[in-house]
Amino acid sequence: MSEPIAVNGDMAIAMAWKQINPDVVAAYPITPQTIIVEAYSDFVADGTVDTEYVCAESEHSALSICVGSSAAGARVATATASAGLAFMWEMLYVTSSMRTPIVMAVANRTLSGPINIHCDHSDAMGARDSGWLQIFGENVQEAYDNTLMAFRIAEHMKVRLPIMTCLDGFIITHALERFELLEDEKVKAFVGPYQPVRPLLDVKTPTTYGPIAMPEYYYEIKYQIVTAMMNAMDVARQVMAEFAELTGRKYDLVEGYRTEDAEYLMVAMGSTAGTVRFVVDQLRAQGKKVGAVKVRLFRPFPADDMAKFLKGKKAVAVLDRAMSPGTGAALYMDVLESASRMKDAPRISNYVYGLGGRDIMPGQLSTVFEEIMAGKGERVNYLGVRL
């Protein structure tokens, strides 16, 4: 293990890509992702890597280039955020349907309007049904670690699906944190060489990518994505276990904190998970039986893993940094589904927070715990909004 250094999350991802040295990176800069592709283009220009780097004219074009390159047999990475991810919308579905295991860093940023460049999860939530795996990091170290694991998970022969490595815009992308970089040779050994499947450039085995699919075949092709998604959970567990042996940093699909004897839980994703643990420690010091659950793998959603944490609890607050107007937000609905067949399921409430980058403070989370412990709160609550 190298000596700890201070970097931001964007640079950590660029450094991970540098160690992996993908064959192709095609991207278009957009705040707060830009540092990733700027830094990586410097590595290419310096000859540190031999990646074919393409600065495309748009995000739609960038992902199109990535899909073509992956279909041709290349290991591919890209990055985007917010409106850039939205501009890729058509190609997101094409990417998963063509089973091209592209790794894309998503610097989570709110979607307009009004225009806003700060963090929430509305971009990733909008893409949650596109057939991409989604993994969320809490800090700079996890942004780096998730990237290394993402290549292994996406490229596994039982998966072969694209994956988003999500990190909170500005909170992680731009903040300097203590960070441990693995040695280059260890990264290369862990990630391994790329194994293309039926590449277009294999002229001895002609393959068609992206043909029209009529009703007789379309449904089955899409169902194959479901099967691969389910496979991805066991693959992710295996990869995380191997990563723990390599680094000592233990990760799981869903991670609990002080949950064993807890009666009340708070569920979160991304950087807020650390704030939740801080609040849990404060309330534990007051004798209150509270705990925290962090979701790392959001797609596929590990419902059985979540259910184990929910069993026997009295009430649960689910924090969503995005909203679904007219109903509960995405993470909340998944947690509800996890408890749907549970006898004596806990009372589960949704707390939408932090839209457009609004800060979430420990005092607000303490109030949420107090509400669910008192049996108060609506089914869906909007934390910190001025009414």
Complete DSSP assignment for 228-292: HHHHHHHHHHHHHHHHHHHHS----SEEEES-TT-SEEEEE-TTHHHHHHHHHHHHHHTT--EEE
Average pLDDT over residues 210-228: 96
How far apart, in Å, do the first and last CA atoms of the chain sit?
50
> Buried b vs exposed e over 335-374: b needs ≥16 C-beta within 10 Å?
bbebbeeeeebbebbbbbbbbbbbebeeebbbebbebbbe
Q: pLDDT by residue (tens digit) across 148-204? A: 999 999 999 999 999 999 999 999 999 999 999 999 999 999 999 999 999 999 999
> Which pLDDT tens digit goes with each residue over 306-360?
999 999 999 999 999 999 999 999 999 999 999 999 999 999 999 999 999 999 9
pLDDT at 1: 63
- pLDDT at position 179, please? 94
Assess contact for 23 and 44: CB atoms under 8 A. no
Residue 2 pLDDT > 80, yes or no?
no
pLDDT for the residue 98: 96
37 in Cβ contact with 2 (< 8 Å): no
263 contacts: CB under 8 Å, gap ≥ 6: 289, 290, 313, 314, 315
Using CA atoms, how far residue 210 sits from 20, 109, 151, 200, 345, in Å, is 28, 31, 23, 12, 44
C-alpha separations of 321 from 275, 288, 318, 356 in Å: 14, 26, 10, 9
Tell me if 209 sits within 8 A of 200, measured CB to CB: yes
How far apart (Å, rounded) are the C-alpha atoms in residues 297 and 133? 8
Identity (one letter) of the amino acid at 109?
Answer: R
Share of the chain above pLDDT 90, in %: 97
Cα 182 to Cα 27, 38, 150, 296: the distances in Å are: 25, 22, 16, 21
CA distance 191 to 152: 6
**pLDDT per residue over 61-109, tens digit each?**
999 999 999 999 999 999 999 999 999 999 999 999 999 999 999 999 9
CATH architecture designation of domain 5-247: 3-Layer(aba) Sandwich (3.40)
Q: Which three-class secondary structure state does DSSP give residue 53? A: strand
CATH 3.40.50.920 domain range(s) in the chain: 254-382
Read off the pLDDT of each residue in 6-26 and give the average, rounded to a whole number. 98
Q: Could you give the CA distance from residue 295 to residue 27 in angstroms, rounded to a whole number?
A: 28
> Model confidence over 117-144: pLDDT tens digits?
999 999 999 999 999 999 999 999 999 9
Tell me if 160 sits within 8 A of 101, measured CB to CB: yes
Domain with CATH 3.40.50.970 in the chain: 5-247
C-alpha distances in angstroms, 150 versus 105, 156, 239, 276, 296?
10, 10, 9, 25, 12
**H or E segment and range at residue 75:** none
CATH of region 254-382: 3.40.50.920
Quick one: DSSP state of residue 124? H
Distance CA 318, CA 272 (A): 12
Judge contact between 331 and 279, C-beta under 8 A: no
| pTM attached to this predicted model | 0.97
pLDDT in the model for residue 3: 86
SS3 state at 5: strand
Mean pLDDT across 259-277: 98
Q: Each residue of 242-260: pLDDT tens digit?
A: 999 999 999 999 999 999 9
